[in-house]
Chains A and B, each alone.
Chain A
Amino acid sequence: MYSNNYKILQIIISLLIVFMISTLAACAGGATPTEQAPPPEAAEEQAEPAQEEEVQAPSTEGAELSLLLISHPFVDSLEPLIPEFEKETGIKVNLEVLAEQPGFEKILSDLSSGTGTYDLFMTDPLHNWQYASGGWLEPLDGYLDDPNLTDAVAYDVDDFFPGIWGAGKWNLEPMTGIGEGQLWAVPINYETYLLAYRPSILASQGVEIPKTYDDVLDAAIKLTYVDEDGQEVYGVITRFDKYWDLPYLTFGTMLQSYGVEMIDEEGNLGICTPESIAATELFIDIISQGSPEGAGAFTWYEALQGFASGQYAMSLDEADLFAPVYENPEESQVSDDVGYALTPLGPDGGRLAGAWIWQMSMNSASENKEAAWQFLQWLTSKDTLVKTHLGGNMNPVRLSSWEDPDVSAMVEAWGETPGQYREVVSEMAKVAGIRFPPHPELTRWLDRWAEAIQQSYFDGGNVEENLCAAQADIEKMMGE
């Protein structure tokens, strides 16, 4: 009948099989989707269409690239162009698009895991200071200078705005060295800040375009009302999340115009200075009087959507590259009624602005580096960039792009009067810059600063106390 040993044996064997399978699968589990390794460099030419040919590419055909991108108008402009690239090069491209905050977290966790799941990803100088420190970025100089990989004449590095190209370089020394050292990323677009406004609303309330930040407060109050249809109109919208982009970019523009420096040459923090306090108090006043209640949690998505929905009279110190969305009748309600102005002046008549550059970097753990470089080169070539600009990717990082007739014509139409957008952006570009110390932990310090600002908004006051507490905390963090 039943036999003891036979059954036991059966069970032991099945357990062993289960364990063996799991171990085998575990070993094999490290494979990335990019199955095929790129063949050696000294390769023959592939048959490619004659037009747009910039490079004598080694045969990377058949490779597969994975890109991690942050949801942004740039991505919308890129997607239709991907099939072109795939056809030309035979390289398959997979895009993964995430919202900003989860996106950055995902990039961090993926890069630090060292598995090389993503070959390329969207990034920026601020985050790259951390990624480069971790050794997760592949330096691009080698690929750029290699004549087999890059057609230097067609690519034309000098065509990029020097400051923007240089922002992709860093020498890995904390607190110094932007623009020096290895090249960690190529730029895709850049943004600075401006004041967007609704000419019709301003006209209807008899309000002039504000010149200083005090003017903004007056305007915000006057421009917050209920219109004939019973709809609420608010004076101002801008981002206000407890997030580093507040003191770094948008509110950062106002701070810098007030003469606030995060850290000066002697290493003193400027967070708790009288200028900073004054700017913060005024900013909070503006938001309290001119924005709806939920404004304390607006990210840039809400700022963009909000203004495009038509409910706001002004978009304060917000990204200029929102313009393509505003100007597109399919994506906004304000496409025929939007104007652009310079950011307001600080109390001493000064105007400075923050700068943000979206870039793309290569994962140092990528297994398809040549194919990845090919993509980067294609993406940031003159032709492709122009196509993205026409698809809504602003602002051009190449001089030639601005001169392109189609781009020129498109941009010309933007704003209240022809050429207004271009004029404002050129002016703002003169005062825009990254005025922060490069450091892998900078986002953490800026988050802390943003917290103090947001706290003051919800407290309804206490600005000095909050800012000074933040400064003390940040000093402590810097010491660690």
Chain B
Amino acid sequence: MSSRVSRISPRTVYVTLGYLAFTIFVIFPIIWVFMMSLKEFRDIIAYPPKFIFTPTLKNYAAILFGSETAGLTTGISDYVNFLKNSIIISGGAVLLSTIIGLPAAYSLARSSIGIKSMVAFTFLSFRFAPELAVILPLYKIYQELNLYDTFIGLILVHQLITLPLVIWIMLSFFREVPIEIEEAARVDGANVWQVLLNVAIPIVRPGIASALIIAFIFSWNNLIFGLVLAGGNTQPVTVGILQTMNFDQIKWGWMAAAAMIAAVPGMLIAIYFQRHLVRGLTMGALK
């Protein structure tokens, strides 16, 4: 008789190791920079790198409230301004995309193929095109139109990111709305707008949420639009971090803190809103 030996199958071992490696790879950089944001300057430059240290909130305080440290430039004390700008730009972009994109997606879902299909694919192609192809000429055009370094200007350009997302995601959701319900409403005498507003949209509400969230985060994370078309008044947080970063060692703590804060929207979404992520990421091609 064999004694009872607890067996761990090789499979479990591989899977566990896989999970471990994967977690370390994915999570470690974030944790490392998070730690850096809590370190004193001397802990940051210490070598060998320190994993145990006394944390401090000085870095966050410095960038959020602009504390003065003797002899150091405080360019990063505009950080709160950058955050505000990002909120305005990304929030505004998503808002505009909703107003324009929802009806457009609905119309695409319900009308016959033809020029609409071509147009829809043109929107898709924006996702794949190098941004500078539009942004660089826009740099000149915006100057003439006085849109350079304005929020309206940036909200309009960010449509390049948010509008295709909203349209294609909502397209896939609208296609799932049962036509019978809409037909019933038509019978009751509703016109297409009313069907859209009172029937279709309430049904696809969760889809709208996910489309907006994805659109917001991609707009927030974007660097290149603001880099070319934003100036001193409208710089979003991504551009702000790039331009004030000079690898002056003393500032690394600030950089880490700034990075953490800028990553907060993304992290929140990863934790709380991952349900419809796949659909959003593939522009509606997958559910």
A residues near B (Cβ < 8 Å) are 1-2, 4, 7-8, 11, 18, 22, 25-27, 29-30, 32-33, 66, 68, 71, 75-76, 79, 95-100, 102-103, 106, 109-110, 113-115, 117-118, 301-302, 305, 309, 328, 330-331, 391-392
Contacts and interface: CB of A to CB of B under 8 A. Distances in A.
Contact of A99 (B149, B188, B245, B250): B245
B49 to A, nearest CB: 16
Nearest to B232: A117
Given A30-B146, A100-B246, A109 B139 contact: yes
A26 B155 CA distance: 11
B194 A29 contact: no
B194 to A, nearest CB: 5
Interface residues of B, number: 42
Nearest to A14: B99
A95 B73 CA distance: 10
A76 B232 contact: no
Interface string B210-236: 000000000000000000100111000
B263 interface: no
Most buried by A among B146, B156, B193, B231: B231
Contacts of A331: 71, 250
Interface string B114-157: 00000000000000000000000001001101111111110010
Contact of A2 (B96, B156, B190, B250): B190
A22 B151 CA distance: 10
B61 interface: no
B148 to A, nearest CB: 5
B75 A71 contact: yes
Nearest to A98: B243
B246 A76 contact: no
Contacts of B2: none
Contacts of A100: 246
A302 B150 CA distance: 35
B72 interface: yes
Given A29-B147, A79-B73, A110-B231, 19 more contacts: A2-B188, A18-B96, A27-B146, A29-B150, A71-B244, A76-B71, A76-B73, A97-B244, A99-B247, A106-B243, A109-B139, A113-B142, A114-B143, A115-B148, A117-B149, A301-B248, A305-B249, A330-B70, A391-B71
B78 interface: yes
Nearest to A96: B232
Contacts of A25: 150-152
Most buried by A among B71, B75, B96, B145: B71
A2 B156 CA distance: 34
Contacts, number: 111
B153 A71 contact: no
A452 B106 CA distance: 57
B199 to A, nearest CB: 12
Interface in B241-276: 242-250
Contacts of A27: 146
Contact of A330 (B71, B99, B139, B148): B71
B284 to A, nearest CB: 25
Given A115-B148, A330-B71, A33 B243 contact: no
Contacts of A115: 143, 146, 148-149, 231
B54 interface: no
B71 A301 contact: no
B178 interface: no
Contacts of A18: 96, 99
B148 A71 contact: no
Contacts of B29: none
A328 B139 CA distance: 44
Contacts of B96: 18
Contacts of A103: 243
A30 B242 contact: no
B107 interface: no
Contacts of B72: 76
A111 to B, nearest CB: 11
A95 B233 contact: no
B85 interface: no
Contact of B75 (A2, A8, A32, A95): A95
Contacts of A8: 191, 193
A68 B243 CA distance: 12
A292 to B, nearest CB: 13
Contacts of B193: 7-8, 11
A96 B152 contact: no
Given A75-B73, A109-B139, A113-B148, A102 B231 contact: no
Given A2-B194, A98-B75, A106-B243, A33 B150 contact: no
Contacts of B146: 26-27, 29-30, 115
A392 B71 contact: yes
Contacts of B232: 33, 66, 68, 96, 110, 117-118
A209 B75 CA distance: 39
A32 B246 CA distance: 27
B74 A79 contact: yes
A27 B149 CA distance: 12
A218 to B, nearest CB: 29
B189 interface: yes
A97 B153 contact: no
A276 to B, nearest CB: 31
Nearest to B234: A29
A269 to B, nearest CB: 32
B143 A1 contact: no
B143 to A, nearest CB: 5
Given A99-B246, A117-B149, A1 B188 contact: yes
